[in-house]
Amino acid sequence: MHDLGKPSVCLDLQSKLNKTLQLNSQYICRNIYYNVAHKQNYSRLRQLRFQNRTSCVKYRRPL
């Protein structure tokens, strides 16, 4: 096992990862709801999914 020297770096990365996962799961929930609410509007949903992939880490939108 390699010693990174600073355990705080690992903890920081872990918390960042957790926040990212949290944001992603929020967007997934929003997309599922959107999908159910607008079944006919698949291209918009696909567009939203793509946008979420690229920008969900940058900002948080309310559910």
Q: Which sequence spans correspond to the domains of the chain?
A: 27-63
For the entire predicted model, the pTM comes to 0.26
Distance, CA of 8 to CA of 41 (rounded, Å): 45
The model's pLDDT over 8-24, given as tens digits with 9 standing for 90+, comes to: 666 677 777 777 777 66
pLDDT tens digits, residue range 26-52? Answer: 666 566 666 565 565 666 666 666 655
In angstroms, the CA 24 to CA 10 distance is 21
Residue 41, token pair as written in the block: 């509007």
Gap between the Cα atoms of 4 and 57, Å rounded: 25
Q: What's the start-to-end Cα distance of the chain, in Å? A: 41
CA 20 to CA 59: how far, in whole Å? Answer: 10
